[in-house]
Amino acid sequence: MLQVQFIRQHKEEVLERLALKQFKELHLVDEIIALDDSRKKLTVEYDETKAQANALSKEIGKLMAQGQKEEAENRKSTVSSLNARLQPIDEQLKATEKALHDALILLPNLPSKLVPAGRTPEDNEVVRSGGDLPTLYEGAVPHWDLTKKYDLIDFELGNKLTGSGFPVYKNKGARLQRALVSYFLDFNIDAGYTEMNVPHLVNEDSAYGTGQLPDKEGQMYHVTEDKFYLIPTSEVPLTNLYRDEILKDTDLPIKMTAYTPCFRREAGSYGKDVRGLNRLHQFEKVELVQLVHPNKSYEVLDEMVAHVEKLVQSLELPYRILRLCGGDMSFASALTYDFEIYSAAQEKWLEVSSVSNFESFQTNRLKARFKEGQEKAQLLHSLNGSSLALPRIVACLLENNQTATGIKLPAVLHTYFGAEEIA
């Protein structure tokens, strides 16, 4: 959530950067400033009325002690009148504060000055790429055929149990999932991240804190009776571990990693782009989250991008890194880099990771702060990244490494998987 003071002091910059993000409700900026003006005015009126009532109340006792009963009664009458005025002022103040908050949460985060202009994914910038595009043998097929051939994943059985987008991993397919999760976690732990095991459901406060509510409410599975949400990523519970906390600067950075299933309704998704593992309602992912000093968040973002790049390189997959344009960014992000892997059988690039800096947008909602010595507490910056999302990694590993006799696995997975290939 943006801070009102920043909006007031940098109105034109706010409007310009919101426009870069293709945000249409720019009138909210003026409404927020007007509501803040009203809030300040009502606050002053309330405080002055309350102070006047308190001052007169103190005089009443002195007047009674001096035997000035009539004057004391006049003071009492005035105090009663002042107190009667306080209630409607207070009610109006609370209503104004709520309206201000409700308007503020509709504003997305401001894009960084590094964000390129653009409306669609086609406007994203390719920062760099790596790896060689594979040349497949003549009989190569997409992963949905490979999973059937080697009995790795049963999409129809998942459809029977739940519905489309909930596959059942079997035999070596299940083992490959477990191998990837273990390898990803170990890779992150070796880089200084602390492994966490967090709930897969969160309450409304947690979903609000990281910006899923109210922006992505329609994309989340909702347990209505308990008002819980199935997590779309472990970013939500991990970041909320520090909601309403004040850390010491010596505690920073906070570096966490976690493996969880992720749940996304993906309403409106259909067609060839959702076939097989390309887009699921339930999938597994290993996540990275950092909470850092504001002065270091962009340095940390570069470090996280480099970390994920090394992980992708270790899987021997062709990749490219994109800097997302304003129109393709998430609600809460200030700057995002996407990783895409080339799917040789489908002849297309598939997103497997997003690494983002949210600056203070999430931590302002969370009230996650830190203190340097005796100075006033200030907001942390939060960052997160996929390290990695499994479905499309599995799809590309299967497709890019298929041969006439089996599927070769990258060397880093041999020990974790217990074999060099799937045959």
Q: Are 119 and 325 in contact (CB under 8 A)?
A: yes
114 within some domain = no
Judgement on whether residues 259 and 399 belong to the same structural domain of the protein: yes
Judgement on whether residues 131 and 81 belong to the same structural domain of the protein: no
Judgement on whether residues 70 and 158 belong to the same structural domain of the protein: no
Q: With 90 as the cut, is the pLDDT of residue 274 above it?
A: no
Judgement on whether residues 128 and 80 belong to the same structural domain of the protein: no
pTM, two decimals, is: 0.93
Secondary structure (H, E, C), 33-67: HHHHHHHHHHHHHHHHHHHHHHHHHHHHHHHHHCC
Q: With 90 as the cut, is the pLDDT of residue 268 above it?
A: no
CATH number at residue 213: 3.30.930.10
Q: With 70 as the cut, is the pLDDT of residue 270 above it?
A: no
pLDDT of residue 68: 81
113 within some domain = no
- Number of domains, the chain: 2
Q: Choose one of 70, 104, 138: the last residue of a domain.
A: 104
| DSSP secondary structure letter of residue 291 | E
Write the DSSP assignment of 58-115 as a string of letters. Answer: HHHHHHHHTT-HHHHHHHHHHHHHHHHHHHHHHHHHHHHHHHHHHHHTTSPPPPPTTP
Judgement on whether residues 69 and 162 belong to the same structural domain of the protein: no
174 within some domain = yes
Judgement on whether residues 99 and 236 belong to the same structural domain of the protein: no
What are the pLDDT digits (tens) for 89-143? 999 999 999 999 999 999 999 999 999 999 999 999 999 999 999 999 999 999 9
Give binding residues for L-serine as ranges.
Answer: 233, 264, 287, 384
116 within some domain = no
pLDDT of residue 62: 81
Task: Please calculate the CA angle 170-259-215 and round it to the nearest 5 degrees.
Answer: 110
pLDDT of residue 239: 98
Residue ranges making up the domain that contains 65: 4-104
Judgement on whether residues 70 and 154 belong to the same structural domain of the protein: no
380 within some domain = yes
What are the C-alpha distances in Å from 408 to residues 131, 399, 405, 420? Answer: 17, 10, 9, 6
115 within some domain = no
CATH number at residue 59: 1.10.287.40
Judgement on whether residues 306 and 273 belong to the same structural domain of the protein: yes
b/e code 67-96 from CB counts within 10 Å (16+ = b):
eeeeebeebeebbeebeebeeebeeebeeb
Residues 6+ away with beta carbon under 8 Å from 295: none
Judgement on whether residues 130 and 75 belong to the same structural domain of the protein: no
Judgement on whether residues 96 and 126 belong to the same structural domain of the protein: no
Give binding residues as ranges.
Answer: 233, 264-266, 287, 351-354, 384
Give binding residues for ATP as ranges.
Answer: 264-266, 351-354
* pLDDT above 70: percentage of residues in the chain: 98
Judgement on whether residues 264 and 331 belong to the same structural domain of the protein: yes
Q: With 80 as the cut, is the pLDDT of residue 251 above it?
A: yes
What are the pLDDT digits (tens) for 364-389? 999 999 999 889 999 999 999 999 99
Q: Choose one of 104, 139, 159: the last residue of a domain.
A: 104
Q: Are 144 and 409 in contact (CB under 8 A)?
A: no
139 within some domain = yes
pLDDT of residue 218: 82
Going by pLDDT thresholds of 50, 70 and 90, the confidence category of residue 64 is: confident
Judgement on whether residues 99 and 125 belong to the same structural domain of the protein: no
109 within some domain = no
